[in-house]
Structure 1
Amino acid sequence: MTEDEVLAEFRACDALLSGHFLLSSGRHSANYLQCARLLMNPERAGRIAFAMVQAMPRELRARIDKVVSPAMGGIIIGHEVGRALGRDALFLERPTGTFEFRRGFSLEPGDQVLMVEDVVTTGLSSREAMAAVAAAGGEVIALASIVDRSGGEAAFDVPFYPLVALNFPTYGEGEVPADLAAMPVTKPGSRAA
């Protein structure tokens, strides 16, 4: 799936939004990718997941024991990637602010894990989720996401396979341009900044 095809999928379901958004990372942006809308159609979610799997080397895919994703945004795409790989898909939650496995989910010692995200902005959530996998006895061997909007800034200790890289500018609290600051702020994500 090409970058244009991925963006066409976002546009087809009105999931590429414009306005003033406060991202989960705490940064501001004039653009927001509403992956929940992208993934609300099971056929579209399956196409996106299949494309993500195909973007990874075959040797890597063969090593994956489990797929893990952080709640909330990663649950659907993680599940669909698990389906495409024929592997179990688990998710992490933050009931007290720190990622952990719940609902009877667990890893076997040494499980080789593919971490799956919807969007990576700073990489902080991904790194926190990877630390939770390590604490549970697993080894994250790669990270995959639908979108990398970090501008190449997010760094990981494992290979990173985004389906598409978009460089929408983001701004810290004191850096927001006047025209953007004049607009009402929307916080569309599932996590408090």
Structure 2
Amino acid sequence: MTTQYHDQHLSAAALDQIFRDARSYNDWLDKPVSDEQLHAIYDLLKMAPTSANMQPVRIVWVKSDEQKAKLLECVSEGNHDKVKAAPVTAIIGYDIDFHEELPWLFPHTDAKSWFEGDEEGRKEGAFRNSSLQGAYLIIAARAIGLDCGPMSGFDADKVNQTFFADAPRHRVNFICSIGYGDKESIFERSPRPDFDKFNTIV
């Protein structure tokens, strides 16, 4: 069966790079990632959709040896070497009070008022949309030729205290190492389900 796409669909090579051949890496080549590359990742991910353009993600890009040492104290033993070897590890966080930025982020209406007085609703929205933005980060990093290793396995309270002490309304969602993956560090790809396994068209 031939699948028809939009006339401007990405090439097969691009789709391979972002999805089909991309992997989550456990170890990294000794090759740096520049600040310019991190800016390029953010400049792509920020363009993808969030509810009411709330843009709740707050990212700390851990590059320096000093800050990496602090992050290593927060991660599980199983993730220690992954973070230590990575050129950069992004702490993908979110701002519970994202609504304070909505007057300029979503100027079409008084969106700020939708979220005032509802902190639990803001937490839910911020977590959901920062999760989306974390996924966009992975896609953007792959699109510019980098590899990723997203992970949980960390002490969230410790990460918040260490990296968001000056922004107590920020919370960590997950972390993601970024660099040039060592192909020797990955396993065979785990199974992926066919469409009919978990999908229904109604």
**Higher relative CO (CA 8 A, sep ≥ 6), structure 1 or 2?**
2
Query: How does the TM-score come out when normalised to structure 1?
Result: 0.28
Query: How does the TM-score come out when normalised to structure 2?
Result: 0.27
Q: Which has the higher helix share?
A: 2
**Structure number with bigger Rg:** 2
Q: Which has the higher strand share?
A: 1
